[in-house]
């Protein structure tokens, strides 16, 4: 990555825009700003385990991308062992080579992080590896990894420093047996017993990876409700399916301590029955993420934070300091790469004087388990709470020909529709390729589509998307391939 760092001595220190952070929010903001003709600098201090630097932040180096690589490998291994025989395919013994799996993952990560470097070059974004501190008055102090300092200035500053895993004081990370989500993506062998603290998105995705590869996985989740942010009906279905896959999910389990001994790590937790223990070989702590602002703001920055440590912003991502913007995980809203990227685009366009906005009501969520879980808009519970009269259409993948052919005929599509004007309020999918299918519903909701719009759109046969078509029909009791209630 060193060839990317344009030597500071050889360039002017004045920019139109300085972006601090090159994750999906920051690097996208920088590219769009440069596309808008603005002289743009992007600073980033990411350091990998091997000491190397890379663009792309958590998403590319330690989150979305490496986890999806391992989810795919582990799913294929699992299917080869458990499912191929049903198709009449015999393989002999199927084995997993964790080193090869990790090498493939690392290759994908380096291709994509290198891709950002190439995009920066092509768009004439200047990149510098090191830490940025916003001092106020358009000044940013840059400290290189070697400790050299330089003060740079810009008309606009965009803060995009992302988030870091929350550490539990009772279960501190040791980088070896008790790790965060990044550590759990780097295991060099399959832990026989894996404890996952937190049954959220990360806990379920990483728990699935290692469970498919042979770990006995115990998930300890503090809340009584499983996947509290998802639609209840979908969450229940998911819980049933994960249990069937062998994930031991213990709800209402508040972890109190971890003791390392010869037999492994003993986790003590409290649940309704009192104090319980489980002994595991490795522990992943996945209890959420904190906005990351350490050392980001100098005394004169004038950038206010909220009580939870997020940088305060308005709907257009303006901070409390003039011409200072903040985007991505470091500001309110879901910690999702695509939300951050769209905020980055919006801010870069607003700086260039264009009209731009993000529709926070239509942000898709995807959990990349098998089956996948995806949704957009309101859950049924949120519709009830809002007092909106609604109707519901559901359709099961068990009656979808493509899903049957894929040997993945589980789950359903659920559509929540306004009873007053037929507008789609929310769509929830658990099933094969849910994360891809939800795209149609994001487009539909962006255009304020009605259930009737979806009913009248031709969906190719045989495809998984027919389940969406049928769920829209079911909202009016007109599904063709199901008995309407």
What residues are annotated to the active site?
A: 461
Tell me how far, at minimum, the Cβ of 432 lies from ligand NAD, in Å: 16
Examine residue 289 and tell whether it contacts ligand NAD (CB under 6 A): yes
Pick from 168, 179, 213, 442: which binds ligand NAD (CB under 6 A)?
Answer: 168
Stretch that binds ligand NAD, among 32-40, 110-118, 334-342, 399-407 (CB under 6 A): 334-342
Choose one: 106-114, 144-152, 187-195, 216-224; the region binding ligand NAD (CB under 6 A): 216-224
Task: Determine, following the binding rule CB under 6 A, whether residue 202 of this chain makes contact with ligand NAD.
Answer: yes
291 and 165 Cβ atoms separated by less than 8 Å = no
Q: Which helix (H) or strand (E) holds 32?
A: helix 24-35
Verify binding: residue 367, ligand NAD, rule CB under 6 A.
yes
**Distance in Å, CB of 301 to ligand NAD, minimum:** 26
- 343/349 with CB nearer ligand NAD: 343
Q: How far is the CB of 434 from ligand NAD (least distance, A)?
A: 11
φ and ψ at residue 167, rounded to 5 degrees: -105, 135
- 291 forms beta bridges with 163
- Write out the H or E segment, with its range, that includes residue 243: helix 232-244
Task: Decide whether 252 or 401 has the Cβ nearer to ligand NAD.
Answer: 252
Beta strands per DSSP E along 45-179: 126-136, 139-144, 149-159, 163-165, 178-179
- Contact status: 200 vs ligand NAD (CB under 6 A): yes
Q: Which stretch binds ligand NAD (CB under 6 A): 113-121, 328-336, 353-361, 443-451?
A: 328-336
Torsion angle of C-alpha atoms 363, 368, 372, 373, degrees rounded to 10 = -40
CB of 205 to ligand NAD, least distance (A): 6
- Report the alpha-carbon distance of residue 247 to residue 440 in Å, rounded: 31
Give, as one character, the DSSP assignment of residue 53: B
Question: Cα 45–51–54 angle (5° rounding)?
Answer: 45
3 state SS of 365: strand
The answer to the question of residue 201 lying near ligand NAD (CB under 6 A) is: yes
433 binds ligand NAD (CB under 6 A): no
Q: Look up residue 330 and give its two tokens.
A: 């470091």
User: Per the structure block, which two tokens stand in for 171?
Assistant: 């279960």
Instruction: Tell me if 288 contacts ligand NAD by CB under 6 A.
Output: yes
Smallest CA-to-CA distance from 58 within 255, 368, 292, 298 is with 292
> What is the distance between the alpha carbons of residues 8 and 421, in angstroms, rounded to a whole number?
59
Among 127, 133, 286, 358, binds ligand NAD (CB under 6 A): 286
Q: Using CB positions, name the residue nearest to ligand NAD.
A: 200
What is the 8-class DSSP label of residue 55? S
Among 24, 56, 66, 203, binds ligand NAD (CB under 6 A): 203
Range in contact with ligand NAD (rule: CB under 6 A) among 13-21, 134-142, 286-294, 369-377 = 286-294
Three-state DSSP class for residue 360: coil
224's CB contacts (< 8 A; 6+ apart) are: 251, 252
- Near ligand NAD by CB under 6 A: residue from 255, 301, 376, 464: 255
User: Residue 431 — left, alpha, or beta (φ > 0 → left; ψ -120 to 50 → alpha)?
Assistant: left
Residue 139: CB minimum distance to ligand NAD, A: 32
For ligand NAD, the closer of residues 221 and 380 by Cβ is: 221
Any contact of residue 223 with ligand NAD (CB under 6 A)? yes
Could you tell me if 140 and 321 are in contact, meaning their C-beta atoms sit under 8 angstroms apart?
no
Among 222, 251, 305, 362, binds ligand NAD (CB under 6 A): 222
Applying CB under 6 A, does 336 fall inside the site for ligand NAD?
A: yes
**Binding segment (CB under 6 A) for ligand NAD, from list 133-141, 151-159, 363-371, 422-430:** 363-371
Residue among 157, 287, 410, 464 that touches ligand NAD (CB under 6 A): 287
Q: Which residues of 32-50 are buried (b: 16+ CB within 10 A; e: fewer)?
A: bbbbbebbbbbbbbbebee
Residue with Cβ nearer ligand NAD (13 or 225):
225
In angstroms, what is the minimal distance from the CB of 103 to ligand NAD? 23
Q: Which of 368, 375, 395, 397 binds ligand NAD (CB under 6 A)?
A: 368
SS (H, E, C) 94-116: CCCCHHHHHHHHHHHHHHHHHHH
Rounded to a whole number of angstroms, the CA Rg of the chain reads 24
Contacts of 202 (CB under 8 A, 6+ apart): 181, 284, 286
Which one of 31-39, 365-373, 398-406, 426-434 is the stretch in contact with ligand NAD (CB under 6 A)? Answer: 365-373
Residue 318 C-beta: closest distance to ligand NAD, Å? 23
Q: 398 phi and psi, to 5 degrees?
A: -60, -20
Alpha carbon 149 to its chain's center: 34
Which parts of 25-84 interact with ligand NAD (CB under 6 A)? none
User: Is residue 197 near ligand NAD by the rule CB under 6 A?
Assistant: yes
Written as six digits, the tokens of 144 are 């290189």
Q: Minimum distance between the CB of residue 267 and ligand NAD, rounded to whole angstroms?
A: 10
Compute CA 324 distance to the chain's CA centroid, rounded to the nearest angstrom: 26
Total interface residues for ligand NAD by CB under 6 A: 25
Query: Site residues (CB under 6 A) for ligand NAD?
Result: 168, 197-203, 205, 220-223, 254-255, 286-289, 334-336, 366-368
């Amino acid at each position: 990555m060193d060839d990317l760092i344009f030597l500071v001595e050889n360039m002017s220190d004045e920019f139109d825009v300085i972006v601090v952070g090159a994750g999906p929010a920051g690097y996208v903001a920088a590219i769009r700003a440069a596309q808008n003709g603005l002289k743009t600098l992007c600073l980033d201090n990411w350091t990998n385990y091997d000491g190397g630097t890379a663009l792309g932040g958590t998403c590319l180096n330690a989150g979305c991308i490496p986890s999806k690589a391992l989810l795919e490998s582990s799913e294929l291994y699992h299917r080869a062992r458990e499912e191929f025989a049903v198709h009449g395919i015999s393989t002999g013994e199927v084995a997993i080579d964790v080193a090869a799996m990790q090498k493939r993952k690392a290759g994908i990560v380096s291709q994509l992080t290198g891709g950002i470097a190439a995009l920066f070059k092509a768009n004439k974004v200047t990149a510098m590896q090191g830490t940025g501190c916003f001092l106020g008055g358009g000044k940013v102090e840059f400290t290189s990894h070697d400790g050299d300092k330089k003060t740079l200035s810009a008309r606009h500053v965009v803060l995009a420093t992302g988030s870091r895993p929350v550490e539990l004081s009772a279960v501190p990370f040791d980088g070896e047996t008790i790790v965060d989500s990044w550590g759990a993506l780097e295991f060099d062998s399959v832990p026989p017993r894996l404890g996952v603290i937190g049954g959220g998105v990360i806990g379920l995705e990483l728990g699935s990876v290692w469970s498919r590869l042979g770990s006995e996985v115990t998930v300890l989740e503090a809340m009584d409700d499983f996947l509290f942010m998802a639609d209840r009906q979908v969450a229940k279905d998911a819980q049933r399916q994960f249990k069937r896959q062998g994930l031991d999910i213990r709800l209402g389990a508040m972890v109190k301590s971890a003791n390392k001994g010869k037999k492994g790590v003993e986790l003590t937790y409290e649940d309704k029955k009192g104090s319980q223990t489980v002994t595991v070989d490795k522990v992943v702590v996945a209890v959420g993420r904190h906005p990351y602002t350490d050392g980001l703001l100098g005394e004169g920055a004038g950038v206010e934070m909220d009580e939870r440590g997020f940088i305060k912003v308005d709907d257009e991502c303006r901070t409390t300091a003039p011409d200072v913007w903040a985007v991505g995980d470091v500001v309110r809203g879901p910690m999702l790469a695509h939300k951050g990227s769209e905020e980055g685009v919006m801010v870069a366009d607003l700086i260039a004087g264009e009209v731009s906005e993000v529709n926070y009501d239509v942000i898709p969520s995807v959990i990349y388990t098998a089956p996948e879980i995806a949704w957009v808009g309101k859950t049924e519970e949120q519709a009830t709470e809002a007092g909106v009269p609604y109707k519901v259409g559901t359709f099961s993948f068990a009656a979808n020909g493509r899903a049957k052919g894929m040997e993945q005929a589980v789950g359903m599509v659920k559509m929540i529709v306004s009873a007053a004007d037929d507008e789609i309020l929310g769509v929830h999918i658990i099933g094969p390729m849910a994360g891809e299918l939800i795209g149609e519903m994001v487009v539909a909701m962006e255009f304020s589509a009605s259930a009737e719009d979806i009913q009248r759109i031709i969906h190719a046969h045989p495809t998984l998307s027919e389940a969406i078509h049928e769920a829209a029909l079911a909202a009016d009791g007109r599904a063709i391939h199901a008995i309407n209630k």
